[in-house]
Chain A
Amino acid sequence: MNATISTTQPLVHAKNICLHVPIFKPRDRQLLSSPGKFLRDLYFFRTQREIVTILDNISFTLHPGERLGLIGSNGAGKSTLLRVIAGIYRPSSGNLMVNGTAKGLFSITMGMSPEATGLENIYMRGLQMGLKLNEIKKLVPEIVAFSELDDAIESPLNTYSTGMSMRLAFSVSTMVEPDILLLDEWIGTGDARFRDKVKARMDKLVEDSRGLILASHNTALMKNLCTRGLVLSKGKMIFCGEIDEALDIYANDKLIQTKA
């Protein structure tokens, strides 16, 4: 599969992508004014469907070997942009070309079934990630060893502690290495010892990937890891260029915002 990917073509090329999202909003209601109105408003809530623009005219190119950092405050559209690149949300307008497999680690515990055992969840997720049963079978010992769950792998997920399910989710989610790695916040999980393993695995993922897009609030990490930065504000692209410059612009922008 990798052989067909040319080395000179950009990994991701986005041109003027927009994303409009429908949201349901209750019309003006005064839930708190009186008990009578409270009940009336709950019954006759008359929701309104509104279209909101989450991403507005975003254009950028990611070349092989580049690492792009998405910078912006909460709700700026960073995670949404990552999901668009992963192909989960399709842009409402504009062009998006992705060359290779773009996969992300988004809320990694989502989509696991609590009633099933750890082992069964490994199989389910593996199939979902496009692996064959015998391919998963080969990966299982490694995943179990990495997650350090030992015998607990045979118990249902709802008996796991938060740390245990995070460990499993992480081990499973990182079993396939994508061409283009999409990260919504850097993942650091577990106790101190496990965190070292996670860090090593994450570093290896970044090392092996042909490109990285990272959304994070961690400025030091961004400086360290990324080569370029894209600054988002309320869905609009403010800047796209060198990472240091991007971080400066964001810092100044925040300064302006807080002063105003």
Chain B
Amino acid sequence: MSEIVSLFSMKRIQLWGFTSWFQFLIRYRKTLLGPAWLLVGPIMFIAFLGLLFAQVGGVSRAEFVPHLTIGLIVWTLISGFVIGSTNVFQQAKGQILQGGIDLTDIVMVSVFSTIIHFLHQIVLIVAVFIIFSISVTPYALFSLVGVILLIINGIWLTIFFGIIGARYRDLAEIVQAVMRIAFLATPIIWMPGETGRGGVMGVFLVYNPFHHFLELIRAPLLGDPIAPLSWMVVLTITAIGFILAYFCFSRFAKNLALWV
């Protein structure tokens, strides 16, 4: 128990927060727009698809654009965790071989960086809600639970994929290939209820874990109910994930300095 308490001591949260925020700012230092670049890409994507796909899919723009925006921003968070995790320890090679830094610190700095990106992009969701004057009920606060669950899953994922990715460099390639398909298989640029694309893909949605994570966050914001199955899937994945990460860490963490 004291181990877990010391894991979240003030000093370490300071380390994670400052390091990740700092790396984030450094990254954009030489650009003109700075962190605003985090918004430009999604805005172009949403504007283009919002104009085009709303007509193709036969749903109204006021319905499709919020769906697309939340989906895209949450997907960026998910794929940030998944793709970022595969080479998290290789990236920190210098620090690992310097000594003094804990492996859990490296994991948490990576998780914090992804969260910082996400926090910036939330602005877009707010903007879209204002533009389409969507009314928000207190029920929308439930999506915070979804966000927290997703972040918690980001922690075990970074530990687990980080370790396997350090041992087998192939993981990064596999994950990128899979995530590209997963993006299309998840209802982000299409809606499950649609005829056509949505109708074809919708059947397989229950097998898509990303869909369930996304639903926990998106459904409350749009005032839709969350399917009990989504809760079950997400909580099961969280539990299994942490068990996997725990065994992987206790078994292989000692080899990591040799693998990076």
- Which residues on A are within 8 Å of B, measured CB to CB? 21-22, 83, 86-90, 103-104, 106-107, 110-111, 113, 115-116, 120, 123-124, 127-130, 132-133
Contacts and interface: CB of A to CB of B under 8 A. Distances in A.
Given A89-B257, A115-B26, A120-B22, A127 B15 contact: yes
Nearest to A20: B258
Interface residues of B, number: 24
Nearest to B259: A22
Interface string B1-25: 0000000000100110011001100
Given A116-B26, A128-B15, A90 B97 contact: no
Contacts of B259: 22
B101 interface: yes
Contacts of A128: 15, 19, 95, 98, 100-101
Given A110-B94, A116-B22, A133 B14 contact: yes
13 contacts: A83-B99, A86-B99, A88-B98, A110-B98, A111-B95, A111-B98, A115-B30, A124-B19, A127-B15, A128-B19, A128-B95, A128-B101, A132-B11
Interface string B100-116: 11000000000000000
Contacts, number: 64
Nearest to B15: A127
Contacts of B100: 103, 128-130
Given A89-B257, A106-B98, A128-B95, 9 more contacts: A86-B99, A88-B97, A90-B255, A103-B100, A115-B26, A116-B26, A120-B22, A127-B14, A130-B100
A88 B100 CA distance: 8
A144 to B, nearest CB: 19
Interface of B: 11, 14-15, 18-19, 22-23, 26-27, 29-30, 94-101, 254-255, 257-259
